[in-house]
Amino acid sequence: MFPQSKISIHNGVPALFVEGKPVFPLIFMTTGDGIAKMQQYGFIGSHLYTGEFPLGWVGIEKYDFSSFDAVCANILKFDSNALIIPRVILDPPEEWMNKYPDELVAYADSSAWEDKSWGGPKKASWASTRWKNDASTALRKLIRHTALTTLSEHIIGWHIGAGVFGEWHYPNPMHYPDTSPAFIKEFKLWLDKKYKNKTNVPRIPTIQERRTGFHGMFRHPIADRWMIDHAEFFHLLGADALETFASAVKKETNNRCLVVAFNGYLPDLGVSHEADHSAFHINLRSKNIDIFSSPHSYRRRKPGEDATMRGFMGSVRAMEKLWINEGDDRTHKAKPSSFKHVNTAEQSVELLWRQFVQALTHNAGVWFMDQGALWEKDPAFYFYNDPLLVKAFEAMIPIAHESMNKQRVRSSEIAVVCDYKSAFYCSDPGFGGNTIRNVLYSETLAEIAKCGAPFDIYQITELFEKGIPSY
DSSP secondary structure of 202-250: --PPPHHHHH--SBTTBPPTTTTHHHHHHHHHHHHHHHHHHHHHHHHHH
Give the pLDDT band of residue 118 (cuts 50, 70, 90): confident
Give the three-class secondary structure for 369.
strand
Q: For residue 321, which phi and psi values (nearest 5 degrees)?
A: -110, 175
Go through 347-356 and write b for each residue having 16 or more CB atoms within 10 A of its CB, e for each that does not.
ebbbbbebbb
**pLDDT greater than 90 at residue 229:** yes
Give the three-class secondary structure for 84.
strand
How many other CB atoms are found less than 10 A from the CB of residue 164? 19
Give the mean pLDDT of 163-175: 96
pTM, to two decimals = 0.97
pLDDT score, position 117: 86
**pLDDT greater than 90 at residue 439:** no
Distance in angstroms (rounded) separating the CA atoms of residues 18 and 351: 28
The two beta strands, 13-18 and 21-23, are: antiparallel
Give the pLDDT band of residue 235 (cuts 50, 70, 90): very high
pLDDT score, position 291: 98
| CA 196 and chain centroid, separation | 35
Q: Residue 17's beta-bridge partner residues?
A: 6, 22
Give the mean pLDDT of 22-41: 98
- Residue range 379-418, pLDDT digits in tens: 999 999 999 999 999 999 999 999 999 999 999 999 999 9
- Residue range 67-101, pLDDT digits in tens: 999 999 999 999 999 999 999 999 999 999 999 99
**pLDDT greater than 80 at residue 355:** yes
Q: Say which DSSP state 130 is in.
A: H
Q: Which of 205, 173, 172 is nearest to 187 (CA)?
A: 205
**pLDDT greater than 80 at residue 236:** yes
CA distances from 166 to 53, 172, 378 (A): 12, 12, 25
Percentage of residues in the chain having pLDDT higher than 70: 100
Give the mean pLDDT of 218-226: 95
Distance in angstroms (rounded) separating the CA atoms of residues 163 and 33: 28
- Residue range 255-313, pLDDT digits in tens: 999 999 999 999 988 889 999 999 999 999 999 999 999 999 998 999 999 999 999 99
**What Rg, from alpha-carbon coordinates, does the chain have?**
22
Q: Residue 291's beta-bridge partner residues?
A: 260, 322
Q: How many residues does the structure list for the chain?
A: 471
**pLDDT greater than 80 at residue 163:** yes
Let me know: does 229 contact 205? Beta carbons within 8 Å.
Answer: no
**pLDDT greater than 80 at residue 150:** yes
Give the pLDDT band of residue 50 (cuts 50, 70, 90): very high
Q: Residue 426's beta-bridge partner residues?
A: 218
Q: Which of 276, 274, 312 is nearest to 293 (CA)?
A: 312
Q: Residue 88's beta-bridge partner residues?
A: 160
pLDDT score, position 94: 98
Indicate the residue type of 81. Answer: N
| CA 446 and chain centroid, separation | 22
pLDDT score, position 30: 98
**pLDDT greater than 80 at residue 433:** no
Q: Residue 318: how many CA atoms within 13 Å on its side-chain side? A: 23
Q: Is 200 exposed, middle or buried (0-12, 13-18, 19+ CB in 10 A)?
A: middle
**pLDDT greater than 90 at residue 45:** yes
pLDDT score, position 204: 96
Distance in angstroms (rounded) separating the CA atoms of residues 398 and 103: 50
Q: Say which DSSP state 263 is in.
A: -
pLDDT score, position 199: 87
Percentage of residues in the chain having pLDDT higher than 90: 92
Q: For residue 327, which phi and psi values (nearest 5 degrees)?
A: -90, 85
Distance in angstroms (rounded) separating the CA atoms of residues 70 and 42: 25
Q: Say which DSSP state 292 is in.
A: E
Give the three-class secondary structure for 329.
coil
Distance in angstroms (rounded) separating the CA atoms of residues 286 and 302: 36
Let me know: does 266 contact 296? Beta carbons within 8 Å.
Answer: no
Give the pLDDT band of residue 207 (cuts 50, 70, 90): very high
pLDDT score, position 116: 86
Q: Which of 140, 113, 418, 362 is nearest to 254 (CA)?
A: 140
Give the three-class secondary structure for 11.
coil
Distance in angstroms (rounded) separating the CA atoms of residues 169 and 292: 14
Let me know: does 356 contact 26? Beta carbons within 8 Å.
Answer: yes
pLDDT score, position 250: 98
Give the pLDDT band of residue 66 (cuts 50, 70, 90): very high
pLDDT score, position 431: 80
Let me know: does 51 contact 75? Beta carbons within 8 Å.
Answer: yes
